[in-house]
Structure 1
Amino acid sequence: MKTTLCWSAFDLLNRENQTKVKETIEEGNLIIFPTETVYGIGANGLNPEASKRIYQAKGRPSDNPLILHIGDRNDVYRYVRFVNLEAEKLMDAFWPGPLTMVFEKNESVPFETTGGLNTVAIRFPKNEIAQTLIRIAGVPIAAPSANLSGKPSSTLFEHVYDDFNGRVDIIIDGGPSEIGLESTVIDMTSDIPTILRPGFVTKKMIEMVLKHPVLDASDTKPTGKVKSPGMKYTHYKPKGDVLLIRGPIEAMVNYVHEQLKRHQGHTVAIICETEYKHLFTVPVRALGSKENPLEMAHNLFSALRDMDKDQVEYIYIHYLNKDELGYALMNRLEKAAGYQIMDL
């Protein structure tokens, strides 16, 4: 078992620690770091063995591509064959920030990083700690979300510590993630740009920049290889049985009340908007106000992880409004429920 160094963001200002970061990345080892979306588990994205170690540490299938994080916008041209005008427009509008774009890779990026694909997903994160880390490393950092494969993504230091203490070399504590959802992923290699994973940057926001409609394949059940993380395998699921309930909140309250009779002696909990918390007689984890999807996004993965912390056996989640950011929230919750949805 490794000895994991746990640092604050302030520790990165120390020259000796910066040397340690550079050595860790050069040796192909792993560092967990914050971004504005979620925490990432990173290594040298140009080193095939380093990318393999990410998959091993997460227990992640090796055909699930990693995202290459760069520290400067212009670095994208070093790792891809072509950047079209539409990609340039999206870079102008959303980089640095929570948008990942898929390009055709060049020979510098190993297939171990791209899940065996000829395409590579690239993001320029906004978080200053992430940017500092990448600059110190001197190479692009391949980094999926820092969670054991299948578990909810990590938005707090305690999440990554619980999952990876002893598995990685360094964990950097950057406090709570600003956004709390992974980046939007859009494929720029198709004739029409195609969203592969929804996130903070919405379809409407992208279309406003490009001045034309884009496609959305994020709800498509893929077969074979996929170009984006989060499309193919089980994600975000707590250990308990999860059911999404779609319909009036009053109907959900009645349904849960009936289910409590069946689940006597078992632990039951609710995830819903703050406005409805008072309606239930069992423990409720409120995501935030239904008027504030940013608040709900910020709390989503912590709420799912709390279900495991509290050893909840039956979890009922109120189906959220799918407008704008709510679409990305429901993308995660539907996966967390294994697409088990009850219409009332």
Structure 2
Amino acid sequence: MCLSVIQTIILTEEDMKLESNRKRVSHALRASKLVVFPTETVYGIGANALSPIASKLIYQTKGRPSDNPLIVHIAHKEDVYKYIESASDAAVKLMHAFWPGPLTLIFKKNDVIPLETTGGLETIAIRLPRNDIARQIIIDSNLPIAAPSANLSGKPSSTAFKHVMEDFMGKVDIMIDGGQSEIGLESTVIDTTTIVPIILRPGFVTQAMIESVLGYSITDQSSTGPSGEVKSPGMKYTHYKPKGEVMIIDGSIEHMAAYVKDAEIKHPDKSIAVICEVEYIHDFTCKVRSLGSLNDQNEMANNLFSALRDMDEWGIDIIFIHHISTHGLGYAMMNRLIKASGYHIINV
């Protein structure tokens, strides 16, 4: 489907303090139009979750497969009960512990939210963001907002406003500049429709944090291939990939440096770059993009998608990424990087 060019309105965080601008955003959402807005995780491309037309427009604009469910964003904990059949004891504990915040919970849906929003599923993914702008537009519009990450399907998620400008200028009605995303990784997704909750996508809220609240062990299916229906975004299709070939190198930094040097010799006509921790940037002779310090996982997570997008900006043909530690937040980062590489991991 060919979408017509739209005169996109850009609003800043300061602009959103004006009631007239907040009304402009609310009116757009009520009219089933698209609004790009910041959250604490990544930028989202949002629309009225109650409108099949609006949800279809999200899929069309992103180029997103229509069976890949959208996350519904709400402004208050109690709003969740408007859209679900029931909440398990585990779900209630997790809502109280982590909402508002970077945790998405999956419930059995009622008939209020259309199937066009849930990817044809009888389950619904819901999150209560903690970002002030995100919550304000939900409150002002008095609507649940369906909002996947604001990137063209398959590309790295957007954590800076320039990313959404690249992908959606002239394709959405309003874009709100909220600066750099606070976290830089999409939310953790937990299926609470099962007897024991299941992690479908790792994120800032780790398995250890969840188990600490629940008091028992849960299951992680985020690294397994999908079978049957897919309840969470980020499980079924290619994600986070720059245009160049992406390879993860697992091994010592000395062995990785030798492997990359050999690739430079074998492919003199190719542009090669490395993504790694700042401590290792001087070990390579090619272009290098630092993720941040080994000692600061939050910094590394915040830089991850920007680093992947920089590869396209630099015109890189072959991208080597150092396999980072999977401890703590590193597990969620490696989840994204492995998918960006198409599961192409080289042991050296």
The normalised TM-score by structure 2 is 0.98
Structure 1 residue 225: Cα displacement: 2.0
SS state at 2:273 partner: strand
Structure 2 residue identity aligned to 1:115: G
Structure 1 residue identity aligned to 2:322: H
Structure 1 residue 168: Cα displacement: 0.1
Residue number among 14, 24, 31 corresponding to 1:10 in the alignment: 14
Counterparts of residues 79-98 of structure 1 (less than 5 Å): 79-98=83-102
Alignment correspondent of 1:115: 119
Unaligned runs of 5+ in 1: none
Aligned counterparts of 1:329 and 1:114: Cα–Cα separation in 2: 26
2:47 is the counterpart of 1:43? yes
Structure 1 residue 269: Cα displacement: 0.3
Q: CA RMSD in A?
A: 0.7
2:142 is the counterpart of 1:131? no
Structure 2 residue identity aligned to 1:327: Y
Alignment correspondent of 1:32: 36
Q: Which moved more, 1:256-265 or 1:94-103?
A: 256-265
Alignment correspondent of 1:246: 250
The normalised TM-score by structure 1 is 0.99
Structure 1 residue identity aligned to 2:174: I
SS state at 2:330 partner: helix
SS state at 2:59 partner: helix
Unaligned runs of 5+ in 2: none
Structure 2 residue identity aligned to 1:158: K
Residue number among 75, 82, 92 corresponding to 1:78 in the alignment: 82
Aligned counterparts of 1:44 and 1:87: Cα–Cα separation in 2: 24
Structure 1 residue 23: Cα displacement: 1.3
Report if the CA contact (8 A) 2:88-2:193 is conserved. no
2:302 is the counterpart of 1:328? no
Structure 1 residue 263: Cα displacement: 1.2
Residue number among 184, 190, 203 corresponding to 1:199 in the alignment: 203
Structure 1 residue 262: Cα displacement: 1.0
Report if the CA contact (8 A) 2:64-2:153 is conserved. yes
Instruction: Give the aligned length.
Output: 344
Structure 1 residue 300: Cα displacement: 0.1
Alignment correspondent of 1:280: 284
Aligned counterparts of 1:288 and 1:12: Cα–Cα separation in 2: 32
Residue number among 275, 289, 293 corresponding to 1:289 in the alignment: 293
Structure 1 residue 224: Cα displacement: 3.1
Structure 1 residue identity aligned to 2:116: E
Aligned counterparts of 1:72 and 1:11: Cα–Cα separation in 2: 24
Alignment correspondent of 1:262: 266
SS state at 1:333 partner: helix
Note the alpha carbon deviations across 1:253-284, whole angstroms, 9 max, x for none.
01111111111022110000111011111111
2:154 is the counterpart of 1:150? yes
Structure 1 residue 92: Cα displacement: 1.2
Q: What is the percentage of aligned positions where both structures have the same residue?
A: 58
Alignment correspondent of 1:215: 219
SS state at 1:113 partner: coil
